Chain A
Amino acid sequence: MFDLIVDAIPLAIVASTPLLLAVQGELVLQRSGIINLGIEGMMLVAAMTSVLAAQASGSVILGFFGGILGAMFIAALFGLFALFFQADQIVTGTAINLFAVGLTSFVYRELQPSGIFLRALPRLTTDAMLPLAWIVFPIALALLLWNTTFGLRLRACGENPEAVASHVTSHRAIALALEAILAGLAGAYLALAISSGFAENMTAGRGFIALSIVIFGRWKFKGALIGTTIFGLAAALQYALQAASQGVPFHLMLALPYVVTLLILCGVAGRVRAPESLGRR
């Protein structure tokens, strides 16, 4: 059993990479005081646009750019409501998710006759995303947030926006754009590298799991890495159990990620302090 788990770890790391990217994006945004429940929809749209872009161009790299563009589109919509209309962020995020599900399902059916979702995708030859997601991004973003004046103001936006009034909208918009890049990469990686294609509702709650890990990690990159790792290990355990096909039924196993996330939330949430004005209008 132990061997099976160890064998499953590389697979689990790959499988949790989109999650880690999303966690980092949401972390940056929440530090600025905005909570984006719509990250789920952002990833879903990115997954679709990345496949479309990769098929149209025949290039995986352009596929990733397509994913970022798709996420940017959703981010613009979210930003319009949450930043400029100052609408409730939870309601906006929920609407964005419905929007993304509706939109992708609609487009999926419309484009089905063209066969674009059936053709084999161009292969991903070198997986640069792993070192980027697990090493480069966390270090770069942590430096940005804690060792620059921009990061200082961004965090102040999350604590007391009144204190940095003239910067709030611009800084939050930049944070949202950063999130869109990361969520776009996450969606694209999910579709192009892990699932080799788009399927309806393929993000399967990864956005919400990402939000939970942000809380678990106490809005810090170290915590985000630890949280995602724990989650990855649970995934490895799941694969190992499946491989061993011991006792636990397959369908219950599918519920495991969500139950693990619930436990993670309950395990630490009681002791954490969120950015002071997170989610406030």
Chain B
Amino acid sequence: MKRLLFPLLAALSAIVLLALAASAFGHSPRALFGILVSGSVGSRFALEGTLLKSVPLLLTGLCVAIAFRAGVWNIGAEGQFIVGALAALLASPYGVVASLLAAMLAGAAWASLATAMRLWRNAPEVLTTILLNFTAVHLLGWCVNGPLRERAAQYPQTDEAAAALPVLGGLHAGVFVAIAASVIGWWLLYRTAEGLRLRATGFNPFAAEWAGVNVRAQLARAMAISGAAAGLAGGIELLGVTHRLFERFASGYGYAGIAVALLAQLHPLAIIVSAFFFGALATGAGDLQRTANISAAVATFGQAVVILLLLAFDHLRARHVRSDR
């Protein structure tokens, strides 16, 4: 029960804090709250929007959860998302499946660059993955302004991808792919020997090494799997939602994945719920910007507040346990 209580409390308090922050600038907290709700789950249209936003968040959240479970700081979901989408675009003439596979491969490869730098040069992945994010952003910028620019050459964007995800009842099939991915993620972590060793490595690499786990290989695999999830997110976003690439394609999905994963306590199935919450927050925030002229960046602010509240609760719990002794 306690495992559910704190995340729930964090999510709710974050919304309250958002409303308070907005009221400091003269907005009515009640109106803001109303728009957040109606704009995210208040209508069929809003709910669809929320689900569409939840899909990439679910997968980047999964990306972060798998990496953090293995004890690697993959802060690079943003970059892996971008290169995944780029690969999906290039492979789209070969069909949806090939395109999504290419996205996963590209995401895995981009993440593995950080692994390689870690294992061979001991460069901390927490920095290399972030730097690779910036590199990917500018790589994308170059692509949409240069080699991959649309034939009409009117805007800095690519042509539409040659393939698209099938649409089922207003939602693209990526929704189901994402949910399947989180189930597979759960199965991998908790029902396979690979997952057992991955988690062991994350909790205590020294003991894992002595217990016969090849820690370096384990880290490399975890990072690749993690990158594949983010790459898949990029591929699905391209083939299901935007159909084109443009400079601000990623718009923070990767960083938001950290909040998604932490709110879900790094549990792949809980990520489905957590992604929906942040998807709703982002969709609602979009509505806030359109109707009340409050920056949609409050969604980012909300992600930060959720993480900080979770950390604060952790502290309280730890202190509680300590005082028990």
Residues A231-268 near B (CB distance < 8 A): 249-252, 254-255, 257-259, 261-262, 265-267
B304/A262 in contact, CB under 8 A:
no
Which residues does chain B contribute within 8 Å of A269, judged by CB atoms? 117, 121-124
User: Which secondary structure dominates chain B's binding surface?
Assistant: helix
Minimum CB–CB distance for A242 against chain B, Å: 14
- Asked if A265 meets B123 with Cβ closer than 8 Å, knowing A99-B304, A205-B131, the reply is yes
- Asked if A208 meets B300 with Cβ closer than 8 Å, knowing A95-B311, A262-B117, A265-B117, the reply is no
A contact residues, total (Cβ < 8 Å): 49
A110 to B, closest residue via Cβ: B25
* Interface stretch of the complex, out of A46-54, A56-64, A81-89, A191-199: A81-89
CB of B75 closer than 8 Å to a CB of A: yes
A84 to B, closest residue via Cβ: B315
CB of A150 closer than 8 Å to a CB of B: no
CB of A103 closer than 8 Å to a CB of B: yes
A94/B75 in contact, CB under 8 A:
yes
- Asked if A255 meets B307 with Cβ closer than 8 Å, knowing A86-B315, A249-B142, the reply is no
- Asked if A270 meets B297 with Cβ closer than 8 Å, knowing A85-B312, A262-B117, A262-B131, the reply is no
B146 to A, closest residue via Cβ: A249
Which residues does chain B contribute within 8 Å of A101, judged by CB atoms? 297, 300
A251/B142 in contact, CB under 8 A:
yes
User: Which secondary structure dominates chain A's binding surface?
Assistant: helix
B135/A255 in contact, CB under 8 A:
yes
A258/B135 in contact, CB under 8 A:
yes
A102 to B120, CA, bound (A): 36
A81, A92, A250, A262: residue with the most chain B Cβ atoms closer than 10 Å = A262
A243 to B305, CA, bound (A): 44
B255/A94 in contact, CB under 8 A:
yes
A102/B297 in contact, CB under 8 A:
yes
Which residues does chain B contribute within 8 Å of A208, judged by CB atoms? 127, 130-131, 134
A99 to B, closest residue via Cβ: B304
Minimum CB–CB distance for B315 against chain A, Å: 4
User: When the two chains form the complex, which single residue of A37, A98, A252, A262 contacts B300, counting CB atoms closer than 8 Å?
Assistant: A98
A101 to B, closest residue via Cβ: B300
B contact residues, total (Cβ < 8 Å): 47
CB of A148 closer than 8 Å to a CB of B: no
CB of B99 closer than 8 Å to a CB of A: no
Which residues does chain B contribute within 8 Å of A91, judged by CB atoms? 258, 262, 307, 311
B68 to A, closest residue via Cβ: A91
Per-residue 0/1 for A63-78: is the Cβ within 8 Å of any B Cβ (1 yes, 0 no)? Answer: 0000000000000010
A91 to B68, CA, bound (A): 10
User: When the two chains form the complex, which single residue of B126, B131, B293, B307 contacts A258, counting CB atoms closer than 8 Å?
Assistant: B131
Per-residue 0/1 for B132-168: is the Cβ within 8 Å of any A Cβ (1 yes, 0 no)? Answer: 1011001101100110000000000000000000000
Minimum CB–CB distance for A196 against chain B, Å: 23
Residues B277-302 near A (CB distance < 8 A): 289, 293-295, 297-302
Which residues does chain B contribute within 8 Å of A251, judged by CB atoms? 138, 141-142, 145-146
B126/A96 in contact, CB under 8 A:
no
A99 to B305, CA, bound (A): 7
A205/B134 in contact, CB under 8 A:
yes
A105 to B141, CA, bound (A): 22
Which residues does chain A contribute within 8 Å of B73, judged by CB atoms? 90
Minimum CB–CB distance for A91 against chain B, Å: 7
A261/B131 in contact, CB under 8 A:
yes
CB of B180 closer than 8 Å to a CB of A: no
CB of A106 closer than 8 Å to a CB of B: yes
User: When the two chains form the complex, which single residue of A81, A103, A109, A252 contacts B311, counting CB atoms closer than 8 Å?
Assistant: A81
A266 to B130, CA, bound (A): 14
Minimum CB–CB distance for B153 against chain A, Å: 15
A209 to B131, CA, bound (A): 8
CB of B209 closer than 8 Å to a CB of A: no
A106/B130 in contact, CB under 8 A:
no
Minimum CB–CB distance for B150 against chain A, Å: 16
User: When the two chains form the complex, which single residue of A77, A109, A205, A211 contacts B295, counting CB atoms closer than 8 Å?
Assistant: A109
A97, A204, A251, A266: residue with the most chain B Cβ atoms closer than 10 Å = A251
A85/B138 in contact, CB under 8 A:
no
Which residues does chain B contribute within 8 Å of A88, judged by CB atoms? 311
Residues B6-32 near A (CB distance < 8 A): 21, 25
A95/B307 in contact, CB under 8 A:
yes
A153 to B297, CA, bound (A): 41
CB of B259 closer than 8 Å to a CB of A: yes
CB of A212 closer than 8 Å to a CB of B: yes
A266 to B122, CA, bound (A): 7
CB of A108 closer than 8 Å to a CB of B: yes
A249 to B141, CA, bound (A): 11
A87, A258, A261: residue with the most chain B Cβ atoms closer than 10 Å = A258
Which residues does chain A contribute within 8 Å of B258, judged by CB atoms? 91, 94, 98
A95/B123 in contact, CB under 8 A:
no
A109/B128 in contact, CB under 8 A:
no
Which residues does chain A contribute within 8 Å of B183, judged by CB atoms? none
A95, A108, A259: residue with the most chain B Cβ atoms closer than 10 Å = A95
6 A-B residue contacts at CB 8 Å? A91-B262, A95-B303, A106-B294, A251-B138, A252-B139, A265-B127
Known contacts A85-B312, A94-B307, A98-B259; 15 further A-B pairs (Cβ under 8 A): A85-B311, A88-B311, A90-B126, A95-B304, A96-B304, A102-B297, A102-B301, A102-B303, A102-B304, A105-B295, A107-B25, A108-B295, A109-B297, A211-B127, A212-B127
